Structure 1
């Protein structure tokens, strides 16, 4: 490796590089930066990195003359050359070119188009400055070689004002392209969500000043501080867990009168169809953001408007399929979310102090850094009257509000599902040791290496085999989870209505004898929403629920189920007549009947007794018995066309479902 400093005359040149002075013999070449010897042009400072056998066998005597600091500088130069080669596929030249590389000036070092241009434009006409996200170098494209060489000489002897560290200049043969770069492509207008409208200068500077000073931040009784920002609500308090509001709890203070003027203008120009009645004002300091989210379908109508005051910022959008986009929000702009951008794409702001933005200077097509300042956001929404009718059951959250408001259902399940399984966990596990053949066949059909979720795994009997799969289970019962752990299985305690997994995490899922323990249609639907959510597009799931029809319904399966066959024991002993629990338990307003074990069911919602051998107690488990066609109807309501096959198996209705990638063309 040899560092060569060429000038047109001197034999030795002291160059300040990496903060140290080091003396290096010069090449005999006196070529000018235009390639004509002795033309009296400006000094050409060239940092050339030669990686050859000759460099590897550099004279030991020469190496001994270099100081420790000089050897360190050489290593830095070589490292810079390697980074350039690996990231843009271009080697550093041993002669001056128009393309000047500035190491330690890239985006990761805080470099931006503006600061580099201000520092170097006096050395010649700059045609472009290329910054690549995640890289420590920038490329300055000068109009001619002489200007590039002059800037390189300056940087070799000085630490520029925009950098705390020395800059290592080098030359490359061509300008790198950022077309196809992920950060660059995010700003392509073609990638933006449908229904997204940006209105620049939606308000005047005077209106901006009034709204910015409207709220006295920092007063505890007036504002609420979250982890990432400070907020204030008008009309209704925004619930960040629901990403919505409680419609029956309006606030005494409505939207401030200061907002009336520009809201009226947006109504007049048809950008808004109705005046909003909920407002959230958020104050962002540099470095603060908001996690990606979709505002509640159930709480708010279409057309959510975000008014930006103060510092510009980049808002990021993400589609459920993984597509991404970004939109710069200038000061005084209004961004309206409608259609897909409102209902399908999530939006958020990254927590950082600088944004990567596209340049708008006319010199070139590139990106730069934009430093954030204080920003205030006014988010206007209109409360939905009734339920959401967007038609996208996979993405809509209407089911959450229905299930969360059903207090009687929660009490019923707590008493007659959760509590019962905790009491009978050990005895229940002893009776569940054999896999059902058709469930095992489904597991056999999965691709090797698939990630499988057992939602409501019980004692984990489906997690003990099929080693070609990666398996994870969960159950609501702590006792059953402990049994699984004692068997060395990968399980956790969780609720089927709130699975602690990211979207699209699993290739397959089984849910065997779980849904029939949920006591309302809304809660059963919510559980299916969760199963679809954690499945990847194309992922498959197998659902088993207890059937009202314990006899088969077809030619191949019209015999009584094993559940009814076991009633043959009644010929040897008197049938057991069940007595109801001490107090009736309602589903809605109706009392639940108690089922007589091993007999045909008489109602869809029943309490089924479990006799504890150890304590001689009788526990009553809640069941919803599915009628023929009911499971398919429920599944089709959640995701139309998802049912791959449906069948009856030993007193259960069963369905294999597939998560379709319908979100790619989702519309509202």
Structure 2
């Protein structure tokens, strides 16, 4: 019986391994190998079930094999390692496969040799050159000077702002000016009584012209005290607040800092008593952050990876306030550039409006129709209330009906829908709804023939004010005298009375960390980190607009909003949006002759209007 149990257990394990390999093959197109290779797949544990890179390396090190690279895929229950030699790979396989319990997971690891690693995987961040403008000066100060600095910044009087950071995961002090986490800026009119301690003055004397162009005299210092396991989210120091460069001095312990730009990643080890100088491209165009970990993964001189436990670390970040707007050449992360819409952009939008809508609205919705429809199933309560306000057998037209979720909301109405997307109309047709294809700017509907008309989240996809007005004129034209229309558009302000919209509330990471508006804008590169944008999609960006970071506040009215598919390719499409300022929609309605504005309101991040066609 004991032998039979072992056989059954072995069969179950083999079946599970085959199932895991099939999943990996389907996801990554990675094939197993019967013969040993340098590459191994850990079949049954990964990021989705709590495995950490540090725990994996610790288990591999116990086998005596050296690992040169670890590849952890987001939201996957498997991962990959690459070894320096075949001997190393065999040691790891024999020491871990069906033997090792990794970390605290309690799961016995199943391994397989694989012919190759996934192609669409982030490259090793240790093998990249430093970003342009980034300079790391090791042993910049001595141990005695480190002790003096730690004593100087420990002043805890009324002059040095000493507060618990609003992120609640590190202790922070400010000198010269307080860094305001509510706005990610400083108030230049409110200097602190305590300037940067004089004990820091020798630092500037040690910097010569070969390291920093000109003379750098900071007037603001932020001191962060990090305990093991604490970090800071990826960000760019606000462009409009501080000039170039930014200096960071590491005291008490080493740490690994990650620099990101788009899909590019560079790991940088900041040794104790080193000075990091961020200038130019590295200061303005790359985000930098520290992952909240207790152990850092580091490369060895031999080319493999090892681990190093973190200790308490204190960082001194020196900045100089900017007096005026930023004029840098890096608009994608520049708050000065993204909070204003130049007339040139507005003019270009109008010129390319039809082409932009075709490529960044119509074609996109055709490609994402099924996935988009899966996320749109519950009618908004106030839209449903509007639909139930009509008498039985009234004729309703839903302009931009999408998957038709509102067409059956009030079964007593004669509801018809129209949309430009053939893909979304296919979903509606499959539900037996009455729909047809057209452009909202030219409705093939007889004038004065409709009792009620709705347009939910549609006209914000039109790329000029004239075209948005034309869509309202068409709705008014088809309404009968006394007929009513309802329009919803996305609001630029996703808060009302300090309450977040449902759009913002879905960003759990932002809510948890209380990330501010400006910090959210600076996290653009974090969103771009996983973006696998189609090359043709990049060519379609005819107008230079910022790519919005999903589930964050809007910083500009005209933006590209990403939509990421859930298929194997995880393709990101960019949809054009014009998000509306308060009263902007009402002003558009006032330009439509023959209608009366009956109600305007704000509903979960949308500006909304109800208007009625006059009887005259």
| Alignment-derived partner of residue 334 in structure 1 | 275
The alpha-carbon distance between structure 1 residues 497 and 226, as it changes in their structure 2 partners (threshold 3 A), is closer
Aligned CA distance change for structure 1 residues 262 and 444 (closer, same or farther; 3 Å): closer
**For residues 114-133 of structure 1, what are the structure 2 equivalents within 5 Å?**
115-116=58-59, 118-121=61-64, 126=65, 129-133=68-72
Which of 290, 300, 304 is the equivalent residue of 2:232?
290
Mapping for residues 374-413 of structure 1, pairs under 5 Å: 374-390=312-328, 396-398=334-336
The CA distance in 2 between the partners of 1:98 and 1:451, in whole Å, is 43
**Alpha-carbon contact 2:248-2:316 (below 8 Å) kept:** yes
SS in 2 for 1:361: coil
Structure 2 equivalent of residue 491 of structure 1:
489
Normalization by structure 1: what TM-score?
0.48
Find the aligned partners of 1:466 and 1:509 in 2 and give their Cα distance.
28
Of the candidates 448, 471, 483, which is equivalent to residue 362 of structure 2? 448
In 1, the alpha carbon distance for the partners of 2:495 and 2:107 equals 56
Partners in 1 of 2:211 and 2:53 — Cα distance?
42
TM-score normalised by L of structure 2? 0.51
Change in Cα spacing, 1:138 to 1:530, as seen in structure 2 (3 Å) is closer
Residues 1:306 and 2:220 are matched in the alignment: no
**1:117 CA displacement:** 6.2
The answer to whether the 8 Å contact 2:560/2:577 transfers is no
Cα 1:78–1:387 change in 2 (3 A) is closer
Match in the other structure for 2:221: 279
Query: What is aligned with 1:235?
Result: 176
Q: What do residues 242-288 of structure 1 show as CA deviations (whole Å, max 9, x unaligned)?
A: 43211111101111233223332124754363121110011223343
SS of the residue 2:206 aligns to: helix
CA RMSD of aligned residues (A): 5.9
> Cα offset for 1:198?
1.7
The change in CA–CA distance for 1:132 and 1:336 in structure 2 (over 3 A counts) is same
Query: Counterparts of 1:643-658 in structure 2 under 5 Å?
Result: none
Alignment match, 1:223: 163
Partner of 2:133: 195
Question: Equivalents in 2 of 1:105, 1:439: separation in Å?
Answer: 49
**In structure 2, do the counterparts of structure 1 residues 114 and 393 end up closer, same or farther at CA, with 3 Å as the change threshold?**
closer
| CA distance in 2: counterparts of 1:390 and 1:449, whole angstroms | 34
Q: 2:259 aligns with which of 308, 317, 324?
A: 317
What is the CA–CA distance in structure 1 between the aligned matches of 2:119 and 2:306, rounded to whole Å? Answer: 14
Measure, in 2, the Cα distance between the counterparts of 1:391 and 1:283.
33
In the other structure, the counterpart of 1:468 is 420
Per-residue CA distance 1:573-622 (angstroms, 9 max, x = gap): xxxxxxxxxxxxxxxxxxxxxxxxxxxxxxxxxxxxxxx999xxxxxxxx
Cα distance change of structure 1 residues 136 and 97 upon mapping to structure 2, 3 Å threshold: closer
User: Any conservation in 1 of the 2:256–2:296 contact (CA below 8 Å)?
Assistant: yes
Q: CA deviation at 1:196?
A: 1.6
Quote the offset at 1:232 in angstroms. Answer: 0.7
Task: Provide the C-alpha distance between the structure 1 equivalents of 2:542 and 2:495, rounded to a whole number of angstroms.
Answer: 15
Q: Residue 172 of structure 2 contacts residue 224 of structure 2 at CA under 8 Å; is this kept in 1?
A: yes
SS in 1 for 2:191: coil
Tell me the distance in 2 between the aligned counterparts of 1:102 and 1:538. 34
Q: Secondary structure of 1:258's partner?
A: helix
> Are the equivalent residues in 1 in contact too, given 2:340–2:556 (CA < 8 A)?
no
User: Given the alignment of the two structures, is residue 531 of structure 1 paired with residue 557 of structure 2, yes or no?
Assistant: yes
- Unaligned residue ranges in structure 1 (runs of 5+): 1-20, 24-63, 404-436, 453-460, 475-479, 511-526, 545-562, 567-611, 615-668
Deviation of the 1:302 alpha carbon: 0.9
Contact 1:473 1:492 in 2 (8 A): no
Q: 1:495-522: per-residue Cα shift (whole Å, max 9, x none)?
A: 4999989769999999xxxxxxxxxxxx
Q: Relative to 1, partners in 2 of residues 1:269 and 1:451: Cα closer, same or farther, differing over 3 Å?
A: same
Matched with 1:406 is none
Query: 2-side partners of 1:211 and 1:109: how far apart?
Result: 35
* 1:17 alignment partner in structure 2: none
Q: 1:487 to 1:155 in 2, by over 3 A?
A: same
Give 1:223 deviation, angstroms.
3.0
Gaps of 5+ in 2: 342-349, 367-397, 402-416, 425-456, 461-471, 477-483, 505-520, 529-536, 544-552, 563-572, 581-589, 599-616
Q: Cα offset for 1:111? A: 4.7
State whether residues 39 and 80 of structure 2, in contact with CA within 8 Å, keep that contact through their aligned partners in structure 1. Answer: no
The structural deviation recorded for 1:311 is 4.1
* Cα pair 1:229 1:285 within 8 Å, conserved: yes
- The 3 A distance-change label for structure 1 pair 113 and 389 is same
